[in-house]
Chain A
Amino acid sequence: MSTAVRGVIASALLALACGSSSGTSDAGNSCTPKVPTDDSVPGTLAAWCQVQLTNGDVAPLADDVVPFTLTTPLYSDGAIKRRTVRVPPGTSATYTDAGVLGFPDGTVFSKSFGFRDDARNTALPIHWIETRIEWKAAGAWNFISYRWNDAGTEALPLPGGEVVNLSYVDGDGATQNAHYLVPATQQCTQCHAEPGTIAPIGPKTHWLNTDYAYTSGTENQLAHWSRIGILSGAPDPASAPRLPVASDPDAGTVEQRARAYLEANCGFCHNPNGNARISGLYLWNSITDPTQLGVCKRPVAAGPGAGGRPYDIVPGHPENSVITYRIEATSPAAAMPQIGRSVVDTHGVALVNQWISEMTGTCN
Chain B
Amino acid sequence: MKHLSFRLGSVLAASLLAAACGSDNNNGNVVSITTSMNESQISAAFSNAAADSTLQFAAGTYKFTNSLNLASKNNITVKGAGMGSTILDWSTQTAGADGVVQANTPGSTIKATFQDFSVQDTIGDGLKVTGAGSLHVKGVGVSWPTRATHGGYGVYPVQSKQVLVENCTVDGASDTGIYVGQSDGIVVRNNTLTNNVAGIEIENSFNADVTGNNSHDNTVGFLVFDLPNLPQVGGHNIRVYSNMFVNNNHANFGDPSGTVALVPAGTGGAVMANSKVEVFGNTFTGNTSIGFGIISCFVAFTQQQCLAAAAGYNPFPNNISVHDNTFTGNGQNPLQYNTSQTHPSYMLAALLASGFQGSNAWKDGHVSDVSYDGVLGLGQTGNANVVCAQSNGSGHFANMHFADVEGGANLGDVLTFDEPAYSCVPTGFPLPAVPVPTF
Contact = CB atoms under 8 A, between A and B. Distances in A.
Co-complex (A, B): yes
Interface of A: 1, 5-6, 9-10, 13-14, 17-18, 22, 38-43, 156-163, 165, 179, 181, 184-187, 189-190, 193, 196-198, 272-273, 275, 277-280, 291, 296-310, 322, 331-333, 335, 338-339, 342, 363-364
Given A163-B94, A303-B153, A186 B47 contact: yes
Q: Which of A189, A197, A310 has the most CB of B within 10 A?
A: A189
B95 A181 contact: yes
A185 B255 CA distance: 33
Interface in B156-186: 156, 158-159, 174-175, 179, 181-182
Given A6-B13, A10-B13, A339-B67, 12 more contacts: A9-B9, A17-B17, A38-B22, A160-B15, A161-B43, A163-B66, A190-B69, A302-B152, A308-B256, A333-B97, A338-B97, A339-B95
A187 B13 contact: no
B40 interface: yes
A363 to B, nearest CB: 8
A162 B153 CA distance: 25
Interface of B: 2, 5-6, 8-9, 12-13, 15-17, 19-23, 39-48, 65-67, 69-72, 93-97, 101, 103, 105-107, 123-125, 130, 149-153, 156, 158-159, 174-175, 179, 181-182, 203, 227, 229-231, 254-259, 301-302, 304-305, 308
B257 A158 contact: no
A10 B159 contact: no
A277 B131 CA distance: 10
Contact of B229 (A160, A298, A303, A338): A298
B302 A333 contact: no
Q: Which of B22, B71, B124, B257 has the most CB of A within 10 A?
A: B257
A278 B39 CA distance: 29
Contacts of A190: 69, 101, 103
Q: Which of B17, B70, B105 has the most CB of A within 10 A?
A: B105
Given A41-B20, A298-B259, A332-B124, A339 B97 contact: yes
B9 A184 contact: no
A179 B94 contact: yes
B106 A273 contact: yes
11 contacts: A1-B6, A159-B44, A160-B46, A161-B66, A277-B231, A278-B181, A301-B203, A305-B124, A332-B96, A332-B124, A333-B124
Q: Which of A10, A41, A302 has the most CB of B within 10 A?
A: A10
B307 to A, nearest CB: 13
A181 B249 CA distance: 41
Contacts, number: 222
B149 A13 contact: no
Contact of A291 (B21, B95, B181, B229): B229
B20 A17 contact: yes
A13 B11 CA distance: 12
Given A41-B20, A273-B106, A163 B152 contact: no
Given A186-B69, A186-B72, A339-B96, A301 B153 contact: yes
Closest 4 CB pairs of A and B: A303-B152, A160-B44, A160-B40, A160-B43
Contacts of A10: 12-13, 16-17
Contacts of B39: 160
Contact of B5 (A1, A160, A298, A308): A1
Given A184-B44, A186-B47, A163 B22 contact: no
A165 B44 CA distance: 20
Contacts of B124: 303, 305, 332-333
A189 B73 CA distance: 12
Nearest to A325: B257
Contacts of B67: 187, 339
A184 B47 contact: yes
A275 B130 contact: yes
A301 B22 contact: no
Q: Which of B6, B69, B93, B230 has the most CB of A within 10 A?
A: B69
Contacts of A13: 13, 16-17
A186 B96 CA distance: 12
Contacts of B203: 301
B301 A298 contact: yes
Contacts of A339: 67, 95-97
Contacts of A184: 40, 43-44, 46-47, 66, 69
Contact of A157 (B16, B42, B45, B159): B16
B12 A157 contact: no
A1 B9 contact: yes
Nearest to B18: A159
A197 B105 contact: yes
Given A17-B17, A278-B182, A304-B151, A6 B9 contact: yes
Contact of B22 (A40, A197, A278, A302): A40
Contact of B305 (A40, A156, A298, A304): A298
Contacts of B94: 163, 165, 179, 332, 342
Nearest to A11: B16
